[in-house]
Amino acid sequence: MCLLFFTLFTEEMYTSLSRKIQRAYIIWRGAGMSIQGVRTCGDYMFSGHTVALTMLNFFITEYTPRHMYFVHTFTWMLNMFGIFFILAAHEHYSIDVFIAFYITSRLFLYYHTLANNRSLMMRDSNRTRIWFPLFSFFESSVDGIVPNEYESPMVPLGKLFSIVYQRIFHFVRDTHVQLLGKRIKNPDTKSD
């Protein structure tokens, strides 16, 4: 028997294979969320919610300019509050959240350490190929650190707006000139 804050589960309910498959389908269909009516023990030993929050936090911290420390601090605070609320909602046990945070942060940091340090990859290339086959496949043709260039999305949007504005302005001006030209050529026509 498993008791969590709002769930109750007994193993006797799912003894046959068909009942287990039916239960697995219900959990899959509801995406494992209690709001969808899914009732489980909650002991997953891994929290996908924590993985998503932590990965987003690390990506923002890694790929935004260093001088945006306010954004970095804000995302870390949001990550910690998110983890707290996952625990407060009793969606996962503490160990689920801790393991998810630990594994996600280690994988992110290990990957970026290997990707940003070519000597680590070249020195033990066979070992790297064995332990990190996807890393070796995806990063084999990269010569070094990819520059961290950041451009605000407002710059391209501003250029696009400027181009659209100029085209509309020229279209209206040319149309107006053409209409005036027709009126000058035919002064007998009445205008409204």
Q: Residue 37: what pLDDT?
A: 64
43 is catalytic: no
Mean pLDDT of the chain: 78
Active-site residue, from 67, 72, 90, 92 = 92
Prediction pTM value: 0.56
Contact (Cβ atoms closer than 8 angstroms) between residue 93 and residue 42: yes
92 is catalytic: yes
Can you tell me the distance from the alpha carbon of 121 to that of 133, in angstroms, rounded to the nearest whole number? 12
Active-site residue, from 43, 49, 72, 170 = 49
What are the tens digits of pLDDT across the range 35-89? 666 666 655 677 888 999 999 999 999 888 888 899 999 999 999 999 999 888 8
Distance from first CA to last CA of the chain, Å, rounded?
86
Contact (Cβ atoms closer than 8 angstroms) between residue 94 and residue 87: yes
Q: Residue 5: what pLDDT?
A: 47
Active-site residue, from 96, 143, 174, 192 = 96
Cβ within 8 Å of residue 124, ≥6 positions away? none
What are the tens digits of pLDDT across the range 74-102? 999 999 999 999 888 877 778 888 999 99
Residue 177 confidence class, pLDDT cut points 50, 70, 90? confident
Lookup: tokens for 45: 């030993």
Residue 33 confidence class, pLDDT cut points 50, 70, 90? low
Q: Cα 95 to the chain's mean position, in Å?
A: 24
Of 56, 7, 61, residue with least CA distance to 32 = 7
CB-based burial of residue 47 (10 Å sphere; 0-12 exposed, 13-18 middle, 19+ buried)? buried
Only one residue has tokens 């302005």, namely: 169
Lookup: tokens for 90: 């009793």
72 is catalytic: no
